[in-house]
Structure 1
Amino acid sequence: MSDSATAAKKAFGIRLKEIRLDASLTGNDLAARSGMRNSKISRIEHGRQNPTEDDIRAWCTACGVPERIPELIARHREIEQMWVEYRDEIRAGQVHIQSRSTPLYEGTRLLRAYEANLVPGILQTRAYFVAALTTSALLRGTPVADIEAAADARLARQHLVTAGTGLNNYSFVIEHGVLEHAFGDDAVMIGQMEFLIRATRLPNVALGVIPPWRRRIVRAGEGFYLFDEQLVRSEMWSGGFRTRRTEEVAFFVKLFGRLRDMAVYGDDARALITAARSQYAQTRENS
């Protein structure tokens, strides 16, 4: 689980503990009144177990504050949504996963995205996306049959970037390693580098590359996407973190600003991407 999701879970447990203490109840008292075991109450208060909504109702009722139930359940649901297990997502299929995000992208006026390992999703060529998703599917042992259709669903929103209408604007920061991490063969990577070079010239796109050996003012980390200042999404090895909490969004806005300050743009960014393209071309010629 991400640090943010873990912290939110622990904070919720502390809030429930404070409700119990304000009611002058011990753990045993609460257990007797609510029907929950004392051991479960302890795990919830220490953030080691998520309460159910029925637990929250019983907790507040036992503590004499039933008016707090709607507020706490709303907060609990928000915390639950901060961490989405991939196994639950994948049950719906990759086509569904890709298609359902299109309205979010369409309605976002400024998308800020940072990636340390992969080309940002909306900038991926079809061949690159297929190669990267196939690699992930093989690792997880998930079906690969719908990857081609998923690629079509993903590419259906790329026009939001390439049309350059000014309705949807983009600010990307990538680590130099993104250019070096090859998915697919050299031809795939050459095509991807050429698309990135094109993207640097689009009027509604700012594409920055953090050069190698750049003095760091913030470490490289997990990629994340900021949809306006309303939603943050980040994918990790075992799941995806997402939040709309104002303080969390503000943190990622600040983080993105520091990453952006380390990046180079325009001709300097194109020089780094062009050098990577040349390396793939040379490897292809020598193979």
Structure 2
Amino acid sequence: MPVSGSSSVQQARQVLADRLRELCKDAGLDGKTLAQACGWHPSKVSRISTAKTAPSADDIQAWCRACGREDQTADLIASLQAVEGMWVEWRRMERAGLRRPQEAVLPLFERTRWFRAYSSWFVPGLIQTHGYTEDVLRAVQRRRVEIDDVADAVAVRMERQRVLYEGQHRFAFLIEESVLRNALGELDTQLEQLEHLLRVGSLPNVSLGVVPTRLGRSRMPVEGFWIFDTVQVNVELVSGHLTITQPSEVGAYADTFATLADMAVYGAKARRLITAAMDSLG
């Protein structure tokens, strides 16, 4: 399993390790005896039981069999898969193309009532135009995905935007001012996107803030992230996708969002920054 420095991931791995260690203890086995029964070196049992090494599904199956608790195998493998899902490298997530990752998050977006999204790189997906989304996903596909299903992935993301208009959802979007002038595509696509921001920002359930470029900031730009209600944070990093659920970490991102939100401008001031970017682009 790829290792992330997130304490949410480490905590989940530790919970799984603790459950395996309890099975061993309840069966009256020590590490050496368990290793012998599984055909392993004793150090492997030690590494798994202390969460220094993540077990495989086969390891869990062998462990449960040795402890006479094969009834626990399915549940523990499910826990392992949940832990693995908290940190996923892009190459693994996107090995079958870009459409499936877009579809996978739809249930999360449908059940979330309060969205907070910050981006220092590009316009957040929920408020992207079709052309802007196509440029973003095409760049991703060219960089790291062999399968070309960009058109399908764009369609899925566009369909997901219905949460902006349906149900009882609230949205707070924060973008850095530089996002208004940086783009992967052509001039017309960026101008269309900026016009769309003006429209989306006027929706009654949407707050759109722009963090101005200036000296003397109290907080520098950080990695882009989404906060779903108060229970989950998703972070897109260069190497992979991180899901955070530990309350202290979720709280840290919520505090960061609040700090950046205090630095942002809204309403007429935000619209002036957007229109100024449009004018600068010609």
**If the length of structure 2 is used for normalisation, what is the TM-score?**
0.80
2:160 partner SS: coil
Instruction: State the alpha-carbon separation in 1 of the partners of residues 74 and 162 from structure 2.
Output: 41
Instruction: Tell me the residue number matched to 1:111.
Output: 115
Instruction: Tell me the residue number matched to 2:5.
Output: 3
With 224-233 and 242-251 compared, the bigger mean Cα shift is at: 242-251
Instruction: Tell me the residue number matched to 1:148.
Output: 151
Q: Give CA deviations for 1:202-240 in whole Å, capped at 9, x if unaligned.
A: 111011111112644444222111222233222222221
Change (3 A) 1:213 1:39: farther
Instruction: Tell me the residue number matched to 2:207.
Output: 206
Instruction: Tell me the residue number matched to 2:40.
Output: 36
Change (3 A) 1:52 1:195: same
Instruction: State the alpha-carbon separation in 2 of the partners of residues 105 and 6 from structure 1.
Output: 22
Instruction: State the alpha-carbon separation in 2 of the partners of residues 69 and 204 from structure 1.
Output: 45
With 44-53 and 19-28 compared, the bigger mean Cα shift is at: 19-28
Q: Does the 8 A contact of 1:176 with 1:211 survive in 2?
A: yes
Aligned-pair RMSD on alpha carbons?
Answer: 3.5
The total of aligned residue pairs comes to 278
With 268-277 and 181-190 compared, the bigger mean Cα shift is at: 268-277
Instruction: Tell me the residue number matched to 2:54.
Output: 50
2:235 partner SS: strand
Instruction: State the alpha-carbon separation in 2 of the partners of residues 19 and 107 from structure 1.
Output: 35
Question: 1:124 is aligned with what amino acid?
Answer: Q
Instruction: Tell me the residue number matched to 1:158.
Output: 161
**If the length of structure 1 is used for normalisation, what is the TM-score?**
0.78
Question: 1:143 is aligned with what amino acid?
Answer: I
Q: Does the 8 A contact of 1:128 with 1:189 survive in 2?
A: yes
1:165-180 alignment runs, 5 A limit: 167-180=168-181
How far residue 199 of structure 1 moved from its aligned partner, in angstroms, is 1.8
Instruction: Tell me the residue number matched to 2:263.
Output: 262
With 234-243 and 181-190 compared, the bigger mean Cα shift is at: 234-243
Change (3 A) 1:13 1:158: closer
Q: Does the 8 A contact of 2:181 with 2:277 survive in 1?
A: yes
Instruction: State the alpha-carbon separation in 2 of the partners of residues 96 and 56 from structure 1.
Output: 28
Instruction: State the alpha-carbon separation in 1 of the partners of residues 208 and 126 from structure 2.
Output: 12
Question: 2:256 is aligned with what amino acid?
Answer: L
Structure 2 residues without counterparts, runs of 5 or longer:
none
Instruction: State the alpha-carbon separation in 1 of the partners of residues 133 and 225 from structure 2.
Output: 17
Instruction: Tell me the residue number matched to 2:195.
Output: 194
How far residue 42 of structure 1 moved from its aligned partner, in angstroms, is 4.9
Identity of aligned residues (%): 37
How far residue 187 of structure 1 moved from its aligned partner, in angstroms, is 0.9
Structure 1 residues without counterparts, runs of 5 or longer:
282-287
How far residue 159 of structure 1 moved from its aligned partner, in angstroms, is 3.3
How far residue 70 of structure 1 moved from its aligned partner, in angstroms, is 8.6
